[in-house]
Structure 1
Amino acid sequence: MATLILVRHGRSTANTAGLLAGWTPGIALDERGAAQAAALPGRLGDIPLAAVVSSPLQRCRETLQPLLDARPGLGIRTDDRIGECHYGDWSGRKLAELSGEPLMEVVQRHPSAAVFPGGESMAAMQARAVEAVREWNARIDEEHGEDAVFLMCSHGDIIKALVADALGMHLDLFQRIHVDPCSLTAVRYTRLRPFVLRLGDTGDLAGLAPRASAGGGDGVVGGGAGAP
C-alpha cells in the first residue's frame, strides 16, 4: 500500500510566543518557519508525490506553498480531520500558564482520558486523524497504485497520534514521541501493518543536542518550537 510522508508545519508565530494555537485564526509562519518551508522542495528531492493533503490552517498552507510553486500542477486538497486538536478554551493561551492546570497532568500522563474544556478529547483527535489517513491511503492506492507516495501537512499532536497508531502504541504513550517544526515522518502502510520509515527527520541532528529547557520530561502540547 501507499507510503505517507507527514510534514509538520514550519515554526509559527505561536510556537515562538509559547502559545497553544489550536484553531486560532491568523497564525502564520515566523521567519524561521518560512525558511524551513522554502527548504522543503529540496529536501523532498525527486520523490514523486501522487497527492498533497493539508490541514486547512494557515501555517500548514504556508508551509506547502514553496513545494506547490516548485511543482506546478501538483495541487492541494484539504481535510479538516488532520487539522490541529480543538483545544477549546485553552486555545490562544500561554503554555506556561496552562502548565499549572490540573488537566495538564492528565494530558501528559493519561491523554486518552483528556478532554479540553469547550474542545475535543485527545482520543477523538486521534480517531479522526487515523480515519483520514486510512481513507486517503485507500484512495491513493486505488488511483495511483500501491507504490505511490503522498504527503500530508499537519500538526505536532496529530502527527504524534498517527505515529502512535502506526507503532501499535496506546495513546497514553504518545507524549514519548517528538516531531520538530517542518520535520518529515514517513509511514508505509501494508495490508497487515504499517512500518515507520522516518520519524521527525529534519535533515540534520541539531535537534538532538541537549537543551537547557527540556521541560522536565513532559511532552510539548501543540508540538513546540523545535531546536533553538
Structure 2
Amino acid sequence: MVRLILVRHGQSESNVAALLDSAEPGAPLSALGRQQAAELPARFAEERIERVVASPLARTVATARPLADALGLPLPVDAGLREVLSGDLEMRGDRDAHLAYLDPVFRWMAGDLAARVPGSPEDGRDFLARYDRAVEAAVQGAVGAVVLASHGAAIRAWAGIRAANLPDDHGRERGLPNTGVVVLEGAPGAWRATEWQGERFTDVDDDPTGAGVPG
C-alpha cells in the first residue's frame, strides 16, 4: 500500500495578485512561498519518502526542490500534475472569472465530467485521465511514501473524486492553502483519503455509513 502525499505549491506571485495562472512556466514563488517550501523537509521528516515528483510549472518545482534535495532524491516533472487549465480565463483575477473557473471543477466532483472551463481544451474526463496517468507513473513500484507537488484545484478535484471514502462534496467544500496537504493511501483505482489539511478520516470499512466521517 502506497502513501500518496499531495502538496499544493507555496504562495506564488500570481496568488498574491489573485490571478488564474495555469500556463507554463507560470509565476515564481513569492518570498513567503520560498519560506513555505524551505519548511517542507522538516515538516515531512517522519515520512519514509521514496519519490518526489512535481508539476512542470515554476512554482511547483521550486516548492518541491528543497524537499527533494534534503532527501537526496531526483526531482522529475510530470505535466499530468498541472493545474486545471484556465482557458479563456487565464491571468484574470476578477470574481466572475474565479467563479467561472471553479464552477466546472465543482461539477466534475458532482459527476458532470462533460463540464469544462471556458476555452479549455480539457473536460473532466481529460483532466482525470492525465492526472491518473501521472499518479500511476509516480507510485509504480513504490512501497513507502510518494510526494506529488501540484496545484490547488487539481488536488481538490482529483482527490475528491478518486478517494472512495470521501463524500462527493468534500473537495468542493474545503479549499487547500499554499503547501496544504492531502494524503491518500492505497493503489491506483483503490485510493482512500486519510488526511485533508489536518482533518483525518476513518477508513471506509470502519464507517457503516460509507461516507468517510472525519475522525
Answering whether residue 78 of structure 2 is matched by residue 79 of structure 1, we say yes
Find the aligned partners of 2:145 and 2:167 in 1 and give their Cα distance. 26
Which residue of 194, 197, 206 corresponds with 1:200? 197
Across the aligned residues of Structure 1 and Structure 2, the Cα RMSD in angstroms comes to 2.6
CA contact (8 A) 2:105 2:116 kept: no
User: Percent identical across equivalent pairs?
Assistant: 28
CA contact (8 A) 2:106 2:157 kept: no
Structure with larger RCO (C-alpha < 8 A, sep 6+): 1
SS in 2 for 1:77: coil
The 5 A counterparts of 1:113-128 are 113-119=114-120, 120-128=122-130
CA contact (8 A) 2:19 2:92 kept: yes
Note the residue ranges of structure 2 that are not aligned, 5 or more in a row. Answer: 200-215
Note the residue ranges of structure 1 that are not aligned, 5 or more in a row. Answer: 203-228
Answering whether residue 188 of structure 2 is matched by residue 187 of structure 1, we say no
CA drift at 1:191: 8.0
Answering whether residue 155 of structure 2 is matched by residue 159 of structure 1, we say yes
Normalization by structure 2: what TM-score?
Answer: 0.78
The 1:85/1:109 distance shift into structure 2, 3 A limit, reads closer
Normalization by structure 1: what TM-score?
Answer: 0.74
Question: Residue type of the partner of 1:176?
Answer: E
CA drift at 1:190: 4.5
Find the aligned partners of 1:30 and 1:21 in 2 and give their Cα distance. 14
Q: What is residue 51 of structure 1 aligned with on the other side?
A: 51
CA drift at 1:60: 0.3
Answering whether residue 92 of structure 2 is matched by residue 93 of structure 1, we say yes
Question: Residue type of the partner of 2:146?
Answer: F
Q: What is residue 14 of structure 1 aligned with on the other side?
A: 14
Find the aligned partners of 1:46 and 1:104 in 2 and give their Cα distance. 36
Alignment length (residue pairs): 193
Q: What is residue 132 of structure 2 aligned with on the other side?
A: 130
Residue range with higher mean Cα deviation, 84-93 or 123-132:
123-132
CA contact (8 A) 1:3 1:186 kept: yes
SS in 1 for 2:84: coil
SS in 2 for 1:78: coil
The 1:165/1:110 distance shift into structure 2, 3 A limit, reads closer
